[in-house]
Structure 1
Amino acid sequence: MIKPIKLLIFGMLISLTVSCQNKPQNRMLEDYTKLPEFKWVENLNCPTGYPIAVYRGGLEGNGFVSLSDRFSTGIRGWGSSGGGTNNGVKPLPSRINCIWVSYAENCTYSIDSDIDYERMIQLFKEGYQDSSFFFNGDGEYKQTTFRTILVGFAPGGVVVIWAMGAGRTVEVGRYKGEKYIVPQAEIDKLDNHERLLFDATDRKNIMLNTKVIPLNVRKANAGKPIPFGLWDTYRTRHSWRPTFVLRTEGEMLLSYIEMFNGEAVNLFDQELVQNKFKKRAIPKFFDLGWRDREGQGYGGDIIFDEQEIFKAFEEIYKDDKEGQAELQFSINYANDYVTVLLKLGDKEIRLPKTKVKVYKSSSLTLKK
């Protein structure tokens, strides 16, 4: 995820210069003729190290989008998109109904649940400001909207659905599946390809495949129990905002944030200027874009240490659960390093394990 965002920042800075198996059902919506339609595609996701495969089913509503016979490695992390196959204009789903295999748990889950259709409709209708158009169109405003419905499967039967678009990912809802045993008589009727989902040797090979689970991840997880509940912990929100200190009287241009719960937001234009406190999950990664007083552009990758930043948020909110914290980014005079500090009232916690990489834009002057 980091490389494409880095390229996006360079582009922005430079541009300133220049029924699982049968007929799907819908138990929630009745008047199909009035349902709005949007162009979207489905995607699957899972956490790194916990691959899944959907055996049967999909997203239901006034229509059906299949997730069947789809595999996700999760190699890009929780909340990252994969590849979709059903891109087109259609109604949004109101239900998820599917069976999937959790390789790390060596078991199968089933879910048949309403999803938050009204929230999804609201998100797609309202949309958000198009950052690419803003930076490539002389600062003009243009609305865009979400283009992907991402379905994530985590250990313990946890299912999270997000609306995803360029520069923004928003959680729609969290749902829960239950363990399910596919009848052996049903497995016996499957073709050789589908039958592999229930083959013990194949499941083991999946867990040993370094293209599915990188070797460093497998070593890190070796001998440790599956951290059930972790992905619900990621959903914890606090009221906070990023703040920026530029030593050279420069100007922040954008701040792209990825959070541990899979959500993401690109702050720029008036949203960055107003910079309101908002209930957000704990941040995992920041991409920053700024320019100094001479107009030289810079970008920065900020990657947090998971244990350090979770401990810092826990400590900062220990005595004031409803407090409003600031995550302060201080850019030095040379514009080649960034330090990070979490602040709430008189409490300050530094984050020394944060990984920082700063780079220069290829353009020397930026249009004011």
Structure 2
Amino acid sequence: MTALVELHIVVAAVLGVLSMLCLVASLSLGRNDALTWTAAALANGTLQTLVIAFASDRLVEFLSAAVLAPLSFLAASQAMACLGPALGHRLRTIIAVGALSMAAVGLHLINAPFPVQAAAFELACLLAMIDLVWRVRHHPASGLQTAFKFVAYALLATTAMRLLMLPLHFGPNASFELFKTSLAENLFFGAASVLTPFATILLLARIILETTQTLRHRSERDGLTGLFNRRSMDAKAETTGQGGAVIFCDIDHFKGVNDRYGHGAGDAVICSFAHLLDATGQTAGRIGGEEFAIILPGREADEAAAVAEEVRLQFHHSIHDALPLDERLSASFGVATYGVHEAARHAFERADAALYAAKSGGRNRVVVHGPSAPLPTQRSTDKRRAA
């Protein structure tokens, strides 16, 4: 067995193992699209490398290169597309790459000069690589992203140099056998063999990091509004430091919205209110059906009350697409403070008492906790939530 065949086998083994790992990881995560496309790209690369190593028929070897190599780059590009912002021109690229691959097959079948045949499929690979690099450039900057971008550019340069080398180094009448056994081709193949697994590892690290962040986000956030959920708010309320204020808020007569217009309209109203809370720039969360809380570290009672009043006015004057144009909704707010080195959770009961006072006092108002705002009993809290 020659050293070149052994190299192909090693490369195929590495790509095959990475493909299986990607597929298993994708299935374990409930079908992660980025991992699935990465597995497809690696599987294509594995098959192509094995064909190059063992195929005795020149037609089979050329067809594998002309079809599988561009497909590998397109699959890798699609994996990056799953991780980044939506970009257009995807269908045009696929059509162009497919047309060039088919042109390479056609040129081979009519026995065109090998450099002409190879130029068509190398152009297909180059176009797919350009699409990959273009998508990489639109991803947010990070250490992993910078490293992957560097490797992607190196692969792109390797593909471009290989395309230019065919006519310049070998001439227009070079044979397939001369090209395959040349030192230049072996060097290019060796470079691609090193860069491809390295790029795959970086891509996998990026996918794992992003998947971990997504899972953490889902565990911390409310599924409907995107605000922090009750568990996250309780955890954040344990932090001590500079003191601050807490706002509890509740949409007035929310049950009536659901009863009259349906739960879809109710969800839209909740999302609209949550958007106003999120726009305050403070730590906001949904702690119940139509109940919300805001933690404002370092803020005094009057500052928190001003924030609550601004949200109250905006919500009361909002037009809701799911409701009649003349329908106006309101919300009630309770404000309480907590001291230096005191956890925000210590103000939760006081803010809840102030919220109950706002509901009892006619709703659509902001009440700051004080001596006149008694702590709520379980019965009064249940009555307010029923409203």
Q: Comparing both structures, which one devotes a greater share of its residues to strand?
A: 1
Normalising by structure 2, report the TM-score: 0.22
Normalising by structure 1, report the TM-score: 0.23
Q: Comparing both structures, which one devotes a greater share of its residues to helix?
A: 2
